[in-house]
Structure 1
């Protein structure tokens, strides 16, 4: 007698979820924050997402049930679903499954990633991704290494791959005084991005210290505690430098 095995729903490690409007993609977004990240950005506001094992074990069915609850509102608000982290490509199979199921429902999908693990994003995963929010931490390789502990090259390679596949991209650039405000580096990044045909906008995100309490709770030193937040003039200057390269800077 033949038997049919029931295929288990993919399981991931989820930190939390939230509803947001702003830089997580168009319209109102259901943002799923996955646990685990290979980088250790000095300005990270969510050190509680670094370790995958700290996330809640969650099935794709559970995630989709939650998304379904908000689906009418997301559709009415012209929004969709954004997978963030941590780094969602650290759990590429789980991330790909959520993206696939969301697209099957007709929901707009976005992937928020540093691109450091871009090689883990299969063509199938990217086929179900309508927008990539690509976090470029710095365009200077040495500064990138000091700021994140990782390498810049994988992110740039991923950016070029996304262009080749025609996947729309929003760049996220965290502006940290003394770290990412160098005119030459900003101009070099602007020149690189303007050479790509799929970059729709550059979001210059002012560095903040809202995550400092999380570091205290975890007993981890916050490396940039004494770094000032950028003033409006600096933010405007950096946005203007990106705009000078023909980019839509927000």
Structure 2
């Protein structure tokens, strides 16, 4: 069994409805270099081996439920899926050979321009990228995530150059990344891209806090209120109103 043919899997969801079009088979990979304060999958950060699965094992498991995915497909999330780039290439190559829609849910934490050939190879087999842009202000991004947003924005530009379809996602956290000036700056950045097919504003919720506590960790956003519908509407008005894809 080739190393590239094996992934470190955290878990699998066989009936996902929010991570790409249609009903999705979602593979959550283990490991993430970002340290997002609002992460609801805190147990996926570690790169220690959880469950090793081959491409064929995942495909065979997918095939058990294939009838559910006629208008959907496979989404690979995490953790950070790009952390296991060689495996992801092999996985998507297999699924695309069977005519199955492929989607990556990523924060682009592992994007490296020096590996562009590998990323271009992956994009040959990728139908859609769900790209999380957590904070457009780099200094605030460093506080929220633990590192710069440069890789995230560079990856967005890279995908635009390749013409890969992108659904951007912004988790809106009251008092943390909902500053109006920052949202306007984010909109200006999105306006420079021509491959955006959808923009989602996801209201922050604290349901992931229990995972932190179960791991004996202090939840960084303890006490921060959840986003309301009005909060989301304000952000959507800035990020989505009159956007190019909505005018087609």
TM-score, normalised relative to structure 1: 0.92
2:83 to 76, 81, 90: 90
Tell me, yes or no, if structure 1 residue 100 matches structure 2 residue 100: no
Tell me, yes or no, if structure 1 residue 117 matches structure 2 residue 110: yes
Gaps of 5+ in 2: none
Q: CA deviation at 1:225?
A: 1.6
Tell me, yes or no, if structure 1 residue 228 matches structure 2 residue 225: yes
8 Å contact from structure 1 (residues 166, 198) kept in 2 = yes
Counting only pairs closer than 5 Å after superposition, residues 205-224 of structure 1 correspond to structure 2 as 205-224=202-221
Name the stretch that deviates more: 221-230 or 114-123: 114-123
Q: CA deviation at 1:213?
A: 1.4
TM-score, normalised relative to structure 2: 0.93
**CA offsets, 1:73-116, max 9 Å, x none?**
201xx101000000001111111111111111101000111112
Distance (whole Å) between structure 2 residues aligned to residue 16 and residue 8 of structure 1: 19
8 Å contact from structure 1 (residues 190, 245) kept in 2 = no
1:30 to 25, 28, 49: 25
Name the stretch that deviates more: 196-205 or 112-121: 112-121
Distance (whole Å) between structure 1 residues aligned to residue 137 and residue 4 of structure 2: 41
Distance (whole Å) between structure 2 residues aligned to residue 156 and residue 97 of structure 1: 26
Residue of structure 2 equivalent to 1:148: 145
Distance (whole Å) between structure 1 residues aligned to residue 4 and residue 154 of structure 2: 32
Counting only pairs closer than 5 Å after superposition, residues 143-222 of structure 1 correspond to structure 2 as 143-222=140-219
SS in 2 for 1:156: helix
SS in 2 for 1:241: helix
Distance (whole Å) between structure 1 residues aligned to residue 127 and residue 3 of structure 2: 27
8 Å contact from structure 1 (residues 194, 245) kept in 2 = no
Distance (whole Å) between structure 2 residues aligned to residue 55 and residue 95 of structure 1: 17
Distance (whole Å) between structure 1 residues aligned to residue 124 and residue 196 of structure 2: 17
Gaps of 5+ in 1: 1-5
8 Å contact from structure 1 (residues 23, 203) kept in 2 = no
Distance (whole Å) between structure 2 residues aligned to residue 48 and residue 94 of structure 1: 21
**RMSD value over aligned CA atoms?**
1.7
Residue of structure 2 equivalent to 1:129: 126
Distance (whole Å) between structure 1 residues aligned to residue 39 and residue 129 of structure 2: 20
1:11 to 6, 23, 26: 6
Residue of structure 2 equivalent to 1:241: 238
Distance (whole Å) between structure 2 residues aligned to residue 100 and residue 214 of structure 1: 34
Distance (whole Å) between structure 1 residues aligned to residue 241 and residue 56 of structure 2: 46
Distance (whole Å) between structure 1 residues aligned to residue 34 and residue 28 of structure 2: 16
**CA offsets, 1:199-226, max 9 Å, x none?**
0111111111111111111111111121
